[in-house]
Structure 1
């Protein structure tokens, strides 16, 4: 992957747009006619907030003064290309007084005048970087493909504007919703989109298949399956594909597919907002977890980023716990030492080994450390990213007491659906399996005998084919290094890892060294 030449995060926002992008209208101050579109209860707040505006074929797109002009121009690009074959839909939106707003990269959803009184702002601001409806909103960081975008592998703009198209079609065509509902029901009856966001309801189904049609849907995570592009949609859901194609009516000369303004994820200098020690000069964003380094190569940081994304693809709730604690992962350069790192200066305790090039998660440092040579290692070494996170799942997350109200919560994030919270009951299960394995004489001659944490970690490494050169148990002909060997040797541990990491029923992943797999 190319080295990133950006010197500051701000440059990511002002970089040249795609060469094929036609000239967009000039950004101006909002005209009085725009403020007349805003609901009266929000009008005064809007006057004090919105300072930038652009005309999108009759629809105002507005933002506060801190938002980069190019975010408004990118909005113009997306909207005009999506509806190039349907000027009647744009016209209907204009008649309904629709307008678009851009949430600044450092703003939250409820900073917008129209959303300032929305209930449960903490929940909304954690989840939402844009919504359909009136007004329709998009996040600046997503529009401009910024490295700090938590939705960096999908277009929130296309998704939310698809919702607005849906509501507009409902006003234009009395049969639209029944047609959409019928197509949605066919997909559900065929078992498509199982456990994916597209299965939530007909409205989300529509927005998700529109994203795929324009090549910008996220794939293979806690609420997405493998359908991210037009061709994949056509094969997987031909009825949904035809519905989208017939609605947008794009001619060959109008065809458009979403493209990112720069490759993501990438490596940049640490953004100031994260408060990262200036010792670190490199930063990449792994599903909101900072991965940092100084002497390590960009390739090593990006491989670490990719590994974290894959490991927690279906268990973002676990990763989110570390993120909320302020955790980060450091990739140690080949010529660097752990003692060089600012988090470990002055630490003197029997659990800290300054000569080790791997450091497990500690509550006082909130830092994982792995070595560059391991991140890009050959198959003779355990993959330490998986190892340090596996140990932290057992040693840190499993310290949490059982929350008796967990299953009855009102506000549940998408990544918390269909998974079991890690708490002391998880530790009890690991401990029980470990004791049973020892009683049966299993794992003798391996590192797994040293305790439940080592036992669990060996299971995670084997499950993802990430175990390196290791000894064979005395009662097994070969080392346990693969998922299949784990299932054959210790079915209970295999089943617990399967349940915990939640890969069953999804696109699989096995670790491969030195490449983003």
Structure 2
């Protein structure tokens, strides 16, 4: 544990740094050292079976940031100047489009700070209280960093293993045609399909319940959507457990309501 190396060129906001096999894990001074270590172990566990994907992520400059409990999305320098989406922005969920008047009344900061406590992509973020499993906090019962890092993993699949990526797209298209995941966040895009599936693979997602399903575990996922299960199995460990994940088979996963598509607005 130490300060970020100057070669990363980071804002002075960042005071702590760990290396996860070439992927920097960074935070302000407010985050406990142990929390960054949890994040590093999750990253290493998710990428254990595919060093080629890790290399692709390192080459692409993927970095992981951790928010302190009293920090918000727009406290992070890379997200400080984010603007809220316009009414026609494709990133809007169906619920957000339906109730865009709520977004219109918010400032940019209010929108993003209420939108989530974790973002995916080249700069993936998570929150300390979620990584440490603090009860009665937002998203308690599911591991948001696992979800958000899964987005970066799928981008790496697209670059490093395009044949597999085409199979992921095919699995998603077929699932949508078959009416699977109706009303669930997994139905929104192929990226969310993969990220939600990743959480189920590692037995670290909230219950998804619908007229045709009750999915809580990796076994449930295999029975309900075997095509998604199959492509996930070409990337992740078949132990289906991340040792640093506090939500592995946690009872809180089944006590929280399933997140419907767009219900996070």
TM > 0.5 fold call:
yes
Are 1:101 and 2:75 an aligned pair? no
Partner of 1:137: 125
Partner of 2:168: 180
User: What SS does structure 1 have at the residue aligned with 2:233?
Assistant: helix
C-alpha distance in structure 2 between counterparts of 1:227 and 1:217, whole Å:
9
C-alpha distance in structure 2 between counterparts of 1:414 and 1:174, whole Å:
32
Post-superposition offset of 1:260: 1.6
Partner of 2:7: 33
Post-superposition offset of 1:121: 2.4
Are 1:260 and 2:246 an aligned pair? yes
Post-superposition offset of 1:148: 4.1
Partner of 2:216: 228
Matches within 5 A, 1:270-419: 313=257, 414-415=263-264
Partner of 2:15: 51
Post-superposition offset of 1:101: 0.6
* CA deviations over 1:233-274 (Å, ceiling 9, x no partner): 0111111101100122x366xx53464279776xxxxxxxxx
Residues 190 and 80 from structure 1, CA distance in 2 versus in 1: closer, same or farther, beyond 3 angstroms?
A: same
Contact 1:127 1:413 in 2 (8 A): no
Partner of 2:79: 115
TM-score normalised by length of structure 1: 0.43
C-alpha distance in structure 2 between counterparts of 1:134 and 1:315, whole Å:
25
Partner of 1:62: 26
Bigger RCO (CA 8 Å, 6+ sep): 2
Post-superposition offset of 1:176: 4.1
* Among 151, 156, 159, the residue aligned to 2:147: 159
C-alpha distance in structure 1 between counterparts of 2:181 and 2:218, whole Å:
15
Answer with 1 or 2: which has the greater Rg. 1
Gaps of 5+ in 2: 84-107
C-alpha distance in structure 1 between counterparts of 2:126 and 2:207, whole Å:
20
Partner of 2:41: 77
* Among 178, 194, 197, the residue aligned to 1:190: 178
Post-superposition offset of 1:314: 7.3
Gaps of 5+ in 1: 1-26, 36-42, 266-305, 317-411, 417-517
Residues 315 and 196 from structure 1, CA distance in 2 versus in 1: closer, same or farther, beyond 3 angstroms?
A: closer
Post-superposition offset of 1:171: 1.6
Partner of 1:218: 206
Residues 192 and 213 from structure 1, CA distance in 2 versus in 1: closer, same or farther, beyond 3 angstroms?
A: same
C-alpha distance in structure 1 between counterparts of 2:129 and 2:55, whole Å:
28
Residues 199 and 51 from structure 1, CA distance in 2 versus in 1: closer, same or farther, beyond 3 angstroms?
A: same
C-alpha distance in structure 1 between counterparts of 2:241 and 2:81, whole Å:
37
User: What SS does structure 2 have at the residue aligned with 1:175?
Assistant: helix
* CA deviations over 1:31-63 (Å, ceiling 9, x no partner): 11222xxxxxxx4xx1x2000010101111000
TM-score normalised by length of structure 2: 0.81
Post-superposition offset of 1:123: 1.7
C-alpha distance in structure 2 between counterparts of 1:97 and 1:161, whole Å:
13
C-alpha distance in structure 2 between counterparts of 1:110 and 1:257, whole Å:
29
